[in-house]
Amino acid sequence: MILTGKAHLAGVVGWPISHSKSPRLHGYWLDKLGIDGAYLPLAIEPDNFETAMQGLMQAGFKGVNVTVPHKEAALQFCDEVDPLARRIGAVNTVVFKEGRSYGSNTDAFGFIENLRQNSDNLDFSAAKTVVLGAGGAARGVIAALQDAGVPEVVLVNRTKSRSEALAADLNIDHEGNVKVADWDARAEILAGANLLVNTTSLGMAGQPSLELDMASLPEKAVVTDIVYAPLITPLLEMARSRGNPIVDGLGMLLHQARPGFEVWFGQKPEVTSELREFVLNA
């Protein structure tokens, strides 16, 4: 990579940041498209977040992605925040322009685009969906599903008070289409579902697997996991072995990066199988 004085700069702000796949992902696109630009890992401690963001803006950065633990702080920081990011309560993409900062959340876009690209027959307008987990990731996934037009989401979480609070919040503009069920009833509620989404950390490398009896799940139901390490989680393995179509979580990471790249660097990037291999083989 050789930069000129006009190079466009962006990066990802997090703490820690060394595990992030985003620099490799954006670097692949910059290289492929021959762009005069760079995308850097930016390790910023929580106490320094605001000062660092001001500094990046003043240094002429076009913008940044924001990851753990700064997504809520980024929402507070930005001069303007789009309505979806506000509903999710987190900003993951910031654009700096003429001394002002604009925040959005592209995780929801990434989640939906990943399903669109990798599950041919999924019709969101008819997708009765079961979502496992009620953390920050579930909030983004459910808001995305609501915007995509799903008629019903059944939300199950170990801690029911958390799923109830999340459902109440996300139902405000959506006429109660998020329903809450007990964690112990998670096997039964799979009957009649077209889409099953795991947003819990269960199944992630180093975490216990998700215990789930899938006997009631229709065979055509699409099963997806937002965990991508391992790529095929025990849940996806179990779903695949009983014949369900599966979509792994890596595509969500790849697709959520597209809108920021396009604004910062001025070209539309593509998510291809070659990119997947490149990001996986880090």
Instruction: Please list the residues that pair with 9 across neighbouring strands.
Output: 38
Q: Which of 6, 71, 97, 160 is catalytic?
A: 71
CB of 163 to ligand ATR, least distance (A): 8
Q: What letter represents residue 14's amino acid?
A: G
Should residue 158 be labelled a site residue for ligand ATR when binding is judged by CB under 6 A? yes
DSSP 8-state secondary structure symbol assigned to residue 188: G
Tokens in use for 220? 């055509």
| Catalytic status, residue 128 | no
Stretch that binds ligand ATR, among 3-11, 143-151, 201-209, 232-240 (CB under 6 A): 201-209
Q: Which of 105, 31, 21, 17 is nearest to 265 (CA)?
A: 31
Of 199, 233, 244, 256, the residue at the interface with ligand ATR (CB under 6 A) is 199
CB of 33 to ligand ATR, least distance (A): 31
Q: Name residues contacting ligand ATR, limited to 92-151 (CB under 6 A).
A: 133-138
Should residue 200 be labelled a site residue for ligand ATR when binding is judged by CB under 6 A? yes
For residue 138, CA distances in Å to 59, 108, 141, 143, 232 come to 35, 10, 5, 8, 19
Which is closer to ligand ATR, CB of 62 or CB of 186?
Answer: 186
Should residue 162 be labelled a site residue for ligand ATR when binding is judged by CB under 6 A? yes
Should residue 74 be labelled a site residue for ligand ATR when binding is judged by CB under 6 A? no
Q: Tell me the number of residues near ligand ATR by CB under 6 A.
A: 15
Should residue 201 be labelled a site residue for ligand ATR when binding is judged by CB under 6 A? yes
Q: List, in order, residues 6 or more apart from 118 with CB less than 8 Å away.
A: 247, 251
- DSSP state letters, 43-85: E--GGGHHHHHHHHHHTT--EEEE-TT-HHHHHHH-SEE-HHH
CB of 90 to ligand ATR, least distance (A): 9
- Contact between 225 and 205 under an 8 Å Cβ cutoff? The reply is no
Binding site for ligand ATR (CB under 6 A): 133-138, 157-159, 162, 199-202, 208
